[in-house]
Amino acid sequence: MKLHKLFICAMLGFGSLNTASVWAQDGDQILDGIGETGLIARYVFDGDAKDWSRNNLHGKSESKLNFINDDLFGKVLSLTPDNKTFVAIPGEAFAGEESLSISGWIYLRSVQRNQHFFDFGKNAKSHFFVVPAGINNDAGFHSEIITGSGGKYKTDSPILEANKWNHVAIVIDIPSQSLNAYVNGVLVSTTKNVNLKLEQLFDSNAGKNNMLYIGKSFLSEGSYLNAKLHDFRLYRVPLNEKQIGKIYHNSLKEEGEEEEETEEAVGDLPKFSKTTPQLYNQYLTSVSDVKIETVVGSLPRLPRYVKGVYRNGIEGPEVRVIWPAPTDNNSVLNAGQYTVIGSVAGTDLKPKAVVTVKVAKESATPELKLKAFHLDEVSLDSDLHGHNTKFIENRNKFIKNLAKTNPDSFLYMFRNAFGQKQPEGADALGVWDTQDTKLRGHATGHYLTAIAQAYASTGYDKELHANFANKMEYMVNTLYQLAQMSGQPQTAGGTYVSDPTAVPKGPGKADYDSDLSNEGIRTDYWNWGKGFISAYPPDQFIMLEKGATYGGQKIQIWAPYYTLHKILAGLMDIYEVSGNKKALETAKGMGDWVHARMKQLPNETLISMWNRYIAGEFGGMNEAMARLYRITNEHRYLEVAQLFDNIKVFYGDAKHSHGLAKNVDTFRGLHANQHIPQIMGALEMYQDSNAPDYYRIADNFWYKTTNDYMYSIGGVAGASNPANAECFISQPATIYENGFSAGGQNETCATYNMLKLTSNLFLYEQRGELMDYYERGLYNDILASVAENTAANTYHIPLRPGSIKQFGNAKMNGFTCCNGTALESNTKFQNSIYFKSIDNQVLYVNLYVPSTLKWTERNVTIVQKTDFPNEDHTLLTIKGEGKFDVNVRVPNWATKGFFVKINGKEEKVKAVPGSYLTLSRKWKDGDTIELRMPFQFHLDPVMDQQNIASLFYGPILLAAQESEPLKEWRKVTLDAKDISKSINGDPEKLQFVIDGVIFKPFYNTYGRHSVYLDVTLK
């Protein structure tokens, strides 16, 4: 999801007499070349102390703050000792951060000592402060860190000049163990060997114990600042000189000056020679050429792995080949033959792909063959020892908290929008659902889905089951009631507007606006058109049509259709698990509202809307509307679904020249989670419309993301180029070069969506690689994204050396996008373990998870008992009888064999890793199927830097347990012929040791970790 932020890109020049600053929003997630995920908070101080980042860390002041006009920056904050004013930031701001950078403009009016620019810390013994003119008898511009354990670190440079603006930046770089001070973009002082962890300065468990003051020390009364302040920022990443220089220079830019998009400096990760073959490639002597056919217009799907020949008796894996990735289909516009030359990282090998382009019809796209079981047909069981599995543990954390939630919190902003009184005890949610956040209501959508899934999954506990049933009913009744009020007279005989296309401007307003403040929000629901439901008035939808961009001003919007998608999906989920007709009626009413408005829009308007950054982000609206069509069989919903086509990505251009439909990679560099749901929508529309291009779009996208953009845990976003950790890398198959953003990797909601896309594709095509990916992402990303003892969960999961996961939203009271999808992931673990064919003749066993399946149509129960992944076998017992196929998954990692016993007797089978094995017979009550698939250690290298690799044991990613952040990748040396010779440990505990370092499953890793290692083979 994309976030809320206001950008000042343009300022009036020096010496201008005009005192008004000029605001411009470029609707970008990248501020001064630094991805938004690196930003903790930003206080522009142009009239208030609000945090303009997405994090809602608004500043507070005990007395009224004074804002004055300034020649350079427009309105700025003015602090004077006489007024005794300062700004306090919420103490949670620094909870759990690793490094810290502070940047801000200061206009000192006096060089008196003891003035504090800021003072941050947990107490007098442990804090971090800056004194621009010195302290006591120590003159100079100092930043100083004092720790409770006696550590003291300081930067020392000349007093900051008074009566002029200076840009100051202080960086605590923990991995580099340095403290750096910059003035006006230039490094003025550095201190090395800073042996510090931020936990020493800040209480990371109870954020409110931290005191974070701007303009005063929290220790002394005589420390008030006499200065003007502007654009104060907190970053969680250690900024380097180039980035700081850019912040400084961009602030002083003339209006309209182009801001060049430079690459985020990749936090100085080690660089390796491009001509040194690494890992198995050092033993590689040749790589096979390949021959591929395609049809005119469609790029060929080139194999990412090709057979290689190794010397020295090494049994290397298939070789990763990096092929050129054209941005159009010019090379295949005519029949004939052409050759594509690939490369192999670190070598000068040039494998060839000879491509034959034929004049022929594209091959037919598959039909829907499988169905998922209902959530209440599959239950998760404990393991062989009666212990909860990781799945049950994580599910229970969520179910427990969800059961305790107050639905009124999730209805708060809906009632607020409709001008209704809040019931007693109702508290608003925080983060992206606060009063003035334009995405409010998004958490409610996730919540509706989560309680529906929780209801369907808690057949094992009557009390919980009833709890969620009540919650669903209460939520739906309230939303239905509000929706019924839209476009209807407030009192009998009153005026109203029921036509969604005729919604007038708010009462007394000159125009539509996105003002959601208590004072500014319109609540005239009788004018909103029939069926309207949202946690804000209709203005954001209307403004989007009229060209509004994303941003924080009242004339700007966030992403109205993104929020709406969640709400509609949640309502339909409730309808499908409980048959609640009001849920469906509410979804239909809003579907009609959207249909009425959108069908009147010309194509150009639609293209403009969906290509407008963030403002036009619509989640899976196409999916939701196509699903509404499938449920209701009312064609107008399918019509609306198709109006959400992302033409550029799907078809290249309005003429449908190429795009994903023709296997062209049109999504490089784009925001990952903005686009994955659109692809799911394409697949959903394929089901309902049968247009084959929709299938190709989804299938081609899946192949490309999982091969060219995927990290070892299964996540797909984390770009340093473009400088936005939520984006796909700028060029496919360049993860090392462009994909280790300091701002993080693997936005968790993107993986949630990738898994959903994957299992949906599998319902059409039962390819082993699909569920291999599903298993990887499920165990190593989704299961790894939840805190040890609470339901707190990750946004990004950083994969740089010595990283640590940050978990948020333990109390379910403030949701980001990923906190929202976590509610969904953790309440439906059982949904992809088994699938059935539509005709109920075939059962697919996809995952080896202890569970019980009730196959209702066949009156058969399948019980799966296993300790997997703590053991490499599983036992399926069939209760009931009948003739059907059991298709069991032979994982791609099962290269040491796959053994099957039926009723204790070994079966002769030909099991191919990465496929499904069919066991066909007339099953009798009590029949057993025993599957054994020995685990082995294997490496998963980064495609463009083979020595940087993750270690797996079977399906499980093993992370090195680290004690501190690292500047370099952890180095390990492994036996070239058999890496297991270098690894000791206990497979049943999944705990191993290499060179004295402990490795554990990533899903059991809560401290610092190295997921990627720098591997040498010997």
Work out how close the CB of 471 gets to Zn ion at its nearest, in angstroms, rounded to a whole number: 24
For Zn ion, give the closer residue by CB, 243 or 753.
753
Work out how close the CB of 745 gets to Zn ion at its nearest, in angstroms, rounded to a whole number: 12
Under 8 Å between Cβ of 713 and 957: yes
Q: What are phi and psi of 541, to 5 degrees?
A: -65, -45
Contact letters for Zn ion, residues 410-429 (x by CB under 5 A)? --------------------
For Zn ion, give the closer residue by CB, 674 or 707.
674
Which position among 203, 737, 747, 944 is part of the footprint of Zn ion (CB under 5 A)? 747
For Zn ion, give the closer residue by CB, 129 or 711.
711
Residues 715 and 710: their CA atoms lie apart, in Å, by 6
For Zn ion, give the closer residue by CB, 251 or 753.
753
Work out how close the CB of 89 gets to Zn ion at its nearest, in angstroms, rounded to a whole number: 24
Work out how close the CB of 436 gets to Zn ion at its nearest, in angstroms, rounded to a whole number: 21
754 binds Zn ion (CB under 5 A): no
Q: How many residues bind Zn ion (CB under 5 A)?
A: 4
Work out how close the CB of 541 gets to Zn ion at its nearest, in angstroms, rounded to a whole number: 23
Under 8 Å between Cβ of 776 and 760: no
For Zn ion, give the closer residue by CB, 781 or 940.
781
Helices 621-632 and 635-642, interaxial angle, to 10°? 170
Which of 264-272, 507-515, 567-575, 748-756 is the region at the interface with Zn ion (rule: CB under 5 A)? 748-756
CA distances (Å), origin 944, targets 346, 347, 769: 8, 11, 21
Which of 47-55, 64-72, 494-502, 811-819 is the region at the interface with Zn ion (rule: CB under 5 A)? 811-819
Which of 196-204, 267-275, 608-616, 747-755 is the region at the interface with Zn ion (rule: CB under 5 A)? 747-755
For Zn ion, give the closer residue by CB, 145 or 749.
749
823 binds Zn ion (CB under 5 A): no
Tell the burial category of 959 from Cβ atoms under 10 Å away from its Cβ (0-12, 13-18, 19+).
Answer: buried
Q: What angle do CA 404, 405, 408 make, to 5 degrees?
A: 140
Under 8 Å between Cβ of 320 and 345: yes
- What is the DSSP annotation of 31-76? ETTEEGGGEEEEE--SSS--B-STT----B-SS--EEEEETTTEEE
For Zn ion, give the closer residue by CB, 487 or 714.
714
Work out how close the CB of 791 gets to Zn ion at its nearest, in angstroms, rounded to a whole number: 16
817 binds Zn ion (CB under 5 A): yes
Work out how close the CB of 1000 gets to Zn ion at its nearest, in angstroms, rounded to a whole number: 26
For Zn ion, give the closer residue by CB, 365 or 813.
813
Work out how close the CB of 957 gets to Zn ion at its nearest, in angstroms, rounded to a whole number: 21
Work out how close the CB of 599 gets to Zn ion at its nearest, in angstroms, rounded to a whole number: 31
Residues 510-539 that bind Zn ion (CB under 5 A): none
Q: One-letter amino acid identity for 755?
A: L
* Closest to 566 in 3D by CA, of 371, 749, 760, 796: 749
**How many beta carbons lie within 10 A of that of residue 547, not counting itself?**
11
Q: CA Rg, the chain, in Å?
A: 29
Contact letters for Zn ion, residues 877-896 (x by CB under 5 A)? --------------------
* Closest to 628 in 3D by CA, of 570, 541, 704, 668: 570
Q: What angle do CA 445, 835, 650 make, to 5 degrees?
A: 55
Structural tokens at position 857: 């149509």
Work out how close the CB of 850 gets to Zn ion at its nearest, in angstroms, rounded to a whole number: 30
716 binds Zn ion (CB under 5 A): no
For Zn ion, give the closer residue by CB, 408 or 747.
747
Contact letters for Zn ion, residues 187-226 (x by CB under 5 A)? ----------------------------------------
Structural tokens at position 534: 């949202």
Query: What would the 3-class secondary structure string for 312-334 be?
Result: CCCCCCCEECECCCCCCCHHHCC
Work out how close the CB of 777 gets to Zn ion at its nearest, in angstroms, rounded to a whole number: 15
Q: What share of the chain is helix, strand, coil (3-state, %, to 5)?
A: 30, 25, 45
Under 8 Å between Cβ of 529 and 557: no
Work out how close the CB of 465 gets to Zn ion at its nearest, in angstroms, rounded to a whole number: 30
* Strand 227-235 relative to strand 319-320, pairing: unpaired
Which of 161-169, 460-468, 507-515, 744-752 is the region at the interface with Zn ion (rule: CB under 5 A)? 744-752
For Zn ion, give the closer residue by CB, 672 or 1013.
672
Which of 128-136, 231-239, 247-255, 741-749 is the region at the interface with Zn ion (rule: CB under 5 A)? 741-749
* Closest to 519 in 3D by CA, of 529, 532, 506: 506
Query: What would the 3-class secondary structure string for 526-578 be?
Result: HHCCCCCCCCCCCHHHHHHHCCCCECCCCCCECCHHHHHHHHHHHHHHHHHHH
For Zn ion, give the closer residue by CB, 21 or 444.
444
**If you ran DSSP here, which 8-state letter would residue 447 be given?**
H
Work out how close the CB of 795 gets to Zn ion at its nearest, in angstroms, rounded to a whole number: 6
Which of 310-318, 344-352, 539-547, 818-826 is the region at the interface with Zn ion (rule: CB under 5 A)? 818-826
For Zn ion, give the closer residue by CB, 562 or 916.
562
* Closest to 119 in 3D by CA, of 185, 202, 214, 230: 214
Residues 614-673 that bind Zn ion (CB under 5 A): none
Q: One-letter amino acid identity for 329?
A: N
For Zn ion, give the closer residue by CB, 178 or 825.
825
Q: One-letter amino acid identity for 120?
A: F
Residues 939 and 953: their CA atoms lie apart, in Å, by 9
For Zn ion, give the closer residue by CB, 172 or 822.
822
Work out how close the CB of 479 gets to Zn ion at its nearest, in angstroms, rounded to a whole number: 24
For Zn ion, give the closer residue by CB, 797 or 817.
817
Residues 663 and 758: their CA atoms lie apart, in Å, by 18
Work out how close the CB of 818 gets to Zn ion at its nearest, in angstroms, rounded to a whole number: 4
Which position among 818, 845, 949, 979 is part of the footprint of Zn ion (CB under 5 A)? 818
749 binds Zn ion (CB under 5 A): yes
For Zn ion, give the closer residue by CB, 378 or 817.
817
Work out how close the CB of 821 gets to Zn ion at its nearest, in angstroms, rounded to a whole number: 7
H/E stretch holding 479: helix 462-485
Residues binding Zn ion (CB under 5 A): 747, 749, 817-818
